[in-house]
């Protein structure tokens, strides 16, 4: 696992603070940082991203010809062209104001429908970053189910 730190180790007490920081940096710069972080990694891997980290993960999965899959957690970008054979699994809460309320859920449904091996995993609730045990909106039950589903997906996409 090779998670890049797109926020330069800035801990944020509130989700809004992290989002404001990302907007200050700019989504294009975050994308560039995330893509650049993968420059030294092999192409043949599953690209995973969480929330804003989905931007580089989804971009890398779509553009690296030997990508093994994409694991997108709590975000999804509209995908004009998804490699049909590329497996994708997307997770989010059905009433999360960021995931469901900003169009990511619609993008996820469209992407999963266009992929031969696509899976959308929805959880009841309105929390964003629900699987982060260090946050007050942690949902242990949904997080455990997400982990089981993600590990199953990774097992199916391994060489």
Give the integer Cα–Cα distance in Å for 67 and 64: 6
Q: What is the mean pLDDT of residues 126-152?
A: 95
Helix axes 27-37, 15-25, angle to 10 degrees: 90
Kindly state the percentage of the chain with pLDDT values over 90. Answer: 58
pLDDT for 2 equals: 44
Q: For the chain, what is the mean pLDDT? A: 85
Contact predicate 57/87, CB 8 Å:
no
Which residues does 120 contact at the CB level (< 8 Å), separation at least 6? Answer: 90, 108, 109, 112
Contact predicate 74/50, CB 8 Å:
yes
The pLDDT tens digits for 14-54 are 556 656 655 666 566 665 665 666 677 787 899 999 888 89
pLDDT for 43 equals: 78
Q: What is the mean pLDDT of residues 69-93?
A: 94
Structural domains in the chain, CATH included, are 15-157 (3.40.50.1820)
Burial class (CB in 10 A: 0-12, 13-18, 19+), 73: buried
Count CA atoms closer than 13 A to 73's CA, side-chain side: 19
pLDDT for 81 equals: 84
Please state the pTM of the whole predicted model.
Answer: 0.83
């Amino acid at each position: 696992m090779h998670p890049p730190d797109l926020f330069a180790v800035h801990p944020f007490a509130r989700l809004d603070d992290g989002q404001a920081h990302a907007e200050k940096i700019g989504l294009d710069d975050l994308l560039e940082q995330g893509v650049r972080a993968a420059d030294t990694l092999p192409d043949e891997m599953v690209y995973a991203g969480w929330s804003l980290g989905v931007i580089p993960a989804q971009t890398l999965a779509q553009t690296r010809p030997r990508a093994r899959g994409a694991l997108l957690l709590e975000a999804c970008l509209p995908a004009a062209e998804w490699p049909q054979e590329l497996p994708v699994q997307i997770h989010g809460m059905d009433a999360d104001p960021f995931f469901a309320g900003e169009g990511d859920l619609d993008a996820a449904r469209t992407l999963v429908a266009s992929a031969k091996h696509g899976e959308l995993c929805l959880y009841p609730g309105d929390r964003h970053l629900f699987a982060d045990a260090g946050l007050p909106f942690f949902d242990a039950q949904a997080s455990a189910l997400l982990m089981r589903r993600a590990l199953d997906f990774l097992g199916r996409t391994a060489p």
